[in-house]
Amino acid sequence: MFPLQDRNRRTIRAEVNPLDKSTVVSIYPKEVLSVNHTMFPGTFVINPGTLDKPTLLVVGTSSWFKEMEEDQPLLEITVGSIQVANSIIVDFCNGLYGCNMHDAMPGLFFVQGEVTEKDLKVRYVSRLQKANENQKRYFSALVRQADALWSRSNGNPLAISDDMRLAANELGVAKEWLADFQHIEMIRCVACGAMRNPNYPICGACHNVIDTEAYKKLGIMKAG
C-alpha cells in the first residue's frame, strides 16, 4: 500500500463527461504533432489531409493538476474539449514561418461535437473553403519567402525549407529551388571560405567574382 502522503500526491483523474467532444479538422498535407506537457492527455497526432479527404481527430476532456499544500491531494483542473481542440491548432501553428494565425495558416480548424466526413462536407462547407483559402495564402507566403532567400543566398539550396518545397508543390508552381538540393554539390569560396553554389559565378557571402569566364558570359547575356 502507498503511504498516506504518497496516496494524496497521486494524479487520479475523475470520470470525464462522455458527451464533451470536439473534432479537429485538417486539410494540411503534412502530419500535425501537438504536445502539451502540462495536461493529460496532451499529445495529439493528426495524419495528413486534403480538401477532398480531410483528416478528423475527435478529442475529449483533458486535465491538469494543481499543486496544493503538502498534505493535500493534487487538485484536478479539467480542460473542455473546445479548449483542447483550440490548443492543438494554436500550439502547432503558432510560430510557423509565414503563418499569421489569421488568414494565412495551415488548413486546420475545429467544430464542436463529434462529426463524420459526410457531416463535415454537408454542414461545414464554408469552414472547409475558408481553411483552404487560408492555407493557399500561407503557402503563397512561403513561396515568396523562398524566392527571396534563394536570391539572397545566391542559390544555396540549404536556404529553402521542406515546408517551402511542400508549398510550391501544393500550389503547382515551378521553381528552380524545387530541385533536390542533394544534386547540387556545394563548394567553398576561395575568397572567404563560405559554401557556395558552383553554378553561380559570384559568391553569395563575400560577393566576389569567383568564376570570371561565367561572369563574362553573364554580362554578355545581360547586355544582349
List the chain pLDDT tens, one digit each, 224 residues: 434 445 556 666 778 888 999 999 999 999 999 998 888 899 999 999 999 999 999 999 998 888 777 777 788 889 999 999 999 999 999 989 999 999 999 999 999 999 999 999 999 999 999 999 999 999 999 999 999 999 888 788 888 999 999 999 999 998 988 875 545 566 788 888 777 777 778 887 788 888 888 777 766 544 44
109 and 22 share a domain? Answer: yes
Q: Supply the pLDDT for residue 221.
A: 43
Read off φ and ψ for residue 164, nearest 5 degrees.
-70, -40
Domain count, the chain: 2
pLDDT of residue 180: 58
Q: Are residues 59 and 161 in the same domain?
A: no
* In a shared domain, residues 14 and 112: yes
Domain's final residue, options 101, 128, 155: 128
45 and 122 share one domain? yes
141 with 124, same domain? Answer: no
What's the Rg (C-alpha) of the chain? 25
Decide: 61 and 78 in contact? Cβ < 8 Å: yes
pLDDT at 10: 63
Residues 60 and 158 in one domain: no
Q: Within this chain, do residues 19 and 123 fall inside the same structural domain, yes or no? A: yes
Domain of 192 in residue numbering reads as: 137-223
Q: Own/partner pairs for 181-184, CB < 8 Å, 24+ apart? A: 181/157, 184/157
Compute CA distances 126 → 49, 121, 123, 130, 192, whole Å: 17, 9, 8, 6, 54
Question: Which of 128, 163, 181 delimits the end of a domain?
Answer: 128
Given 68, 100, 128, the domain boundary residue is 128
In this structure, are 12 and 118 located in the same domain?
yes
Identify whether residues 160 and 202 lie together within a single domain: yes
Question: 149: how many CB neighbours lie within 10 A of its CB?
Answer: 16
